[in-house]
Amino acid sequence: MQKNTPSDGSPELLSPALSPGAQEEWTLHVEAVLRGVAHALNNRAATLSALIQLADDAEPAPTLRAILATELERVTGLAAAIRSIGTPRAGEEAFAPADAVSEALQVLALHSDQRDATTVIDARDAAPVRVRRWMFVRALIVLAVNAGRAGTNVRMEIRSSGNDLVVRVASESPAPSPYVQEIVRAMGGEMLGDGLGFCLPTLAAIRQREGS
């Protein structure tokens, strides 16, 4: 279990105590993402080699700059995805779910089990929350992968419902996920009764509760 020490000297847990089954599940996802990263880096290396050849052939500079900018954006995305599955960040954060969705989608695009699938996550009308952002992102990743087994496309909806934020994936038979269950519980949320998602208190509900 990883720990961090806040400024007051008391230890802060970065990661909850997960069951062996949940730990193994997340490890398998990390391995799948790293396989995707390796594949993507090979593609980037091939493209950069081609750019060197173009430079030797006196390719016009504006064209080279445009291609290099695209490659830089892709490499930056790879770095962001690796950070998302790396060491957890300390502390809760208030954020819009749509911002976390873009982070989750970067990782899903590299996940080897999702290579032939398209994942759409609609969070346009979702209210802000205050949880450990990395937990929220990883819960989205695992929920989406489990719903999209065998390369099927995945659609997920994140919406506000009263005092709750509800995350629901469109799937007839989601794969059981100890990891999602335990991460959701660590965020102070609950799994939906049908197992197709989870709910968390919104930031507004937390502030109202704190003020009462």
What are the extents of the domains in the chain?
Answer: 19-212
Helices (H), 57-96: 61-84
Most confident option among 10-24, 66-80, 114-128: 114-128
Virtual torsion, Cα 21, 26, 32, 36, nearest 10 deg: 180
pLDDT single digits (tens) 167-176: 999 877 666 7
Strand 119-122 and strand 154-161: the pairing is parallel
Beta carbons of 3 and 12 less than 8 angstroms apart? yes
Q: How far apart are CA 70 and CA 150, in angstroms?
A: 30
Residue 2 clears pLDDT 50, i.e. is over it: no
pLDDT single digits (tens) 91-107: 899 999 999 999 999 88
Q: So what's the pLDDT on residue 11?
A: 36
This prediction has a pTM of 0.77
pLDDT single digits (tens) 40-63: 777 777 777 677 666 666 555 667
For residue 48, how many C-alpha atoms fall within 13 Å in the half-sphere facing its CB?
11
User: Which comes out higher in pLDDT, residue 57 or 181?
Assistant: 181
Give 124-145 as a DSSP string.
TTPPPEEE-HHHHHHHHHHHHH
Instruction: Give the number of other CB atoms < 10 A from CB of residue 74.
Output: 14
CATH topology of domain 19-212: Heat Shock Protein 90 (3.30.565)
